[in-house]
Amino acid sequence: MDDANELTLQGGCLCGALRYHIKGQPFDADYCHCRQCQQSSGAAFMAWMDFKVTQVEWMTAKPREYSSSTQVRRGFCEQCGCSISYRHTEHPQYITLSIATLDNPNWVSPKYHIYCDNQPDWLHLADNCQRYNRARS
């Protein structure tokens, strides 16, 4: 905790070239099973947490971004390839970060699953989170 009794989250990429500090808790967190998250991470799903841009401070370099669609920018480390961020250009006041990149990923728990229609048949998750076939409306 810092002087203002506000939680400070910290994290970064695999090699340490990207490091961030976040003031406060995310306003949302989810598991995403969309094909772009699967392909960009090489995993069956991504666990994301959402913040206001003003909450996030990059301590080292900022992520390099890939335009995975006309409105989505996926951030990654140029050194180790870690998938670290997601930005939607229609919502420039927000940034989404990978929960797995936190120094302690137990600090944030996803609240729901989205794009479950893309979840592989072999993946069986036993949590009690709400599930949505597409985006949460």
39 φ, ψ (degrees, to nearest 5):
-70, -35
- Residues 22 and 56: beta-carbon distance below 8 Å: yes
As a whole number, the mean pLDDT across the chain is: 95
Predicted confidence (pLDDT) per residue in 69-83, tens digit: 999 999 999 999 999
Token pair, residue 133, equals 């076939």
Find, among 81, 6, 79, the residue nearest to 41 by Cα. Answer: 81
Statement: residue 57 has pLDDT above 90: yes
Q: In what order do the strands lie in the sheet with 72-76?
A: 64-67, 72-76, 83-88, 94-98, 46-52, 28-32, 112-114, 130-131
- The confidence score (pLDDT) of residue 2 equals 45
Tokens 């990149």, located at residue: 101
- The confidence score (pLDDT) of residue 5 equals 56
Find, among 63, 71, 51, 57, the residue nearest to 17 by Cα. Answer: 63
Predicted confidence (pLDDT) per residue in 86-115, tens digit: 999 999 999 999 999 999 999 999 999 999
CA quadruple 90, 93, 94, 95: dihedral positive or negative? positive
Q: Give all domains of the chain, ordered by start, each with its CATH number.
A: 8-131 (2.170.150.70)
- Residues 101 and 16: beta-carbon distance below 8 Å: no
- Residues 110 and 103: beta-carbon distance below 8 Å: no
Separation of alpha carbons 47 and 97, rounded Å: 9
Is pTM beyond 0.85? Reply is yes
73 φ, ψ (degrees, to nearest 5):
-120, 120
